[in-house]
Every structure is written in C-alpha cells, then in structure tokens.
Amino acid sequence: MLDSFTVDKLIDLSISVGGRILAAILIFIVGRFLISLINKLVAKLLVKRSVDAGVQSFVKSLVNILLMILLIVAIISKLGIETTSFAALLASAGVAVGMALSGNLQNFAGGLILLVLRPFKVGDFIECQGVSGSVREIQIFHTILTTPDNKVVFVPNGALSGGTIVNYSKEDTRRVDWTIGVDYGEDFDKVESTVRTLLASDARILQTPAPYVALHTLNSSSVDVVIRVWVKSSDYWDVYHHINKTVYATFNKEGIDFPFPQLTVHQAKD
C-alpha cells in the first residue's frame, strides 16, 4: 500500500507533467498557426517587392525550415528538457550528422550559388545532368524541372551548380539549322531560290542576321543543302517543324527530288 505522502507526490508529478504536455501541445498548435501566418506574410512581401520567382521559392523554404526548428526547440524546452543538454547532444553528434548530411549541405551551398550567379530563372528551359525541362521551382536543396512530357525531375543543387547547364531561354533569339539532301543533277540555283522564297514567306524568320543557304556537302547519295535562320526563342520549334513541312511540299511541287540510298551492283562476266 502507498502511503499518503507518496500518493500526494504522484498526484503532484502527474499534474506537473500533464501541465507541461498540455502547454507543449498548445505551443505546437499556436506555433503552427504563427508559422503559417509568417510564411504567408513572407510570400506576400516577396511578391510585393517583385523578387525573382526562384529567390522566392528558396527564401520561403528556408524561412519555413528555420521556424520549424524554433518551434521544436520551444516544445522541447517546455517539456522540461534542458535546451543546453539538448544542444550538447546535438554538438556531440555533429560529426556524424554532418557526414550524413554532407550532400544536403552541398546542395544548400549550391542553391545559394545558383541564386547569386543566376544561370537560369524560373520558367527557363534548361538542360543539365542528362535531363532537360522548364524550371518550375528553386528550393534550398533541389531545383525542380518539368519535362516536355510533364515529368517532374528533382535535380540536386550541388550537382547542378557544379555541372554544365545549357539555358535555351537565356537569349531572345536562336538559330535554327536544317540540312536537306537533294538528288545529284538538281539545279542548285533553283533549289536555293525556292528555299529563299519559302523562307521569306514566313514572318517569324528574322531578316537580321539574314537567312543563310549554301551547298554544304557532296555525300555519297545526295547533295546536302544547309539552311540557317534566326528566330525568336519562343518560335524555335514552330518554325523548325513548319519549314520541314513546307520544304517537303514545295520541293515536290517544283519537281525537286529528294535522294534515297542507292547501291550500284556490277555483275562480273564469265
């Protein structure tokens, strides 16, 4: 049987522990509400200041993580766990944690480098680490790309900042190239004139720099004609496919033959 003194102690302890748990739960609820409110205020402030979309996503992720860490520390402190002891425990495990998170720390540093150097921005179409897509978001550890077939790719910022990045949207204009083969015996002047006429009919093709048409290569089964024009970056693929279709239709109409591989066989006589 427990004496009255022990029972009183257990009751006091239960009340104390229960009060701390209730206070910790209250701190968690209020803290989550405040974090949500602060995140919204930060987002509105960044939009109001017209901050780059990539910087916005990075800052919002960073602020959210820092606030969550502060909330966890506040809850631990309210539960009666000494924060100094907690800090000492983290410090003693720092080496192991640092080794485990070395990749994420590298990605964090890479994200900062990307924001400072700005090789691309949200909305740009880039190629990196063997993938290509539109930049959807720059987070603290990863950059999110959306591929043309609507896949979502998470590229680590560390590898991204230290690797080769091809930005197809950085410049306002791009050059479109075609190499088109015609039969041997075709009149090159006629081919060139036909090509220049159809290029001039497309208003999306820029006249400065001027379109370039030249005899490129004398191949084994074809005479290759190279065509180079400049267009706005946003018009690249539309112009590329439209000219392919137009060249095919126009050459057939004008009687300009496309080549196909040919093999001449000589039969030996007895």
146-155: list long-range contacts, CB under 8 Å, 24+ apart: 155/128, 155/129, 155/131
Judge contact between 144 and 137, C-beta under 8 A. yes
Domains detected in the chain: 13-84 (no CATH), 104-167 (2.30.30.60), 173-254 (3.30.70.100)
Q: What per-residue confidence (pLDDT) applies to 157?
A: 92
- CA atoms in the 13 A half-sphere facing the CB of 72: 8
Q: What per-residue confidence (pLDDT) applies to 134?
A: 94
Q: What per-residue confidence (pLDDT) applies to 146?
A: 95
Q: What per-residue confidence (pLDDT) applies to 116?
A: 83
Q: What per-residue confidence (pLDDT) applies to 199?
A: 95
How far is 55 from 46, CA to CA, in rounded Å? 9
Q: What per-residue confidence (pLDDT) applies to 75?
A: 79
How far is 261 from 192, CA to CA, in rounded Å? 23
Q: What per-residue confidence (pLDDT) applies to 91?
A: 60
How far is 211 from 200, CA to CA, in rounded Å? 9
The structure's pTM equals 0.61
Give the sheet arrangement for strand 125-128, strand by strand.
152-156, 142-146, 131-138, 125-128, 165-167
User: Would you give per-residue pLDDT tens digits along the chain (270 residues)?
Assistant: 455 656 566 666 666 667 778 877 888 888 888 888 888 888 888 777 777 776 777 778 778 888 888 888 777 777 766 656 555 555 655 545 454 456 678 888 888 888 888 899 889 999 999 999 999 988 888 899 999 999 999 999 999 988 999 999 999 999 999 999 999 989 999 999 999 999 999 999 999 999 999 999 998 888 999 999 999 999 999 999 999 999 999 999 999 998 877 666 777 765
Q: What per-residue confidence (pLDDT) applies to 97?
A: 47
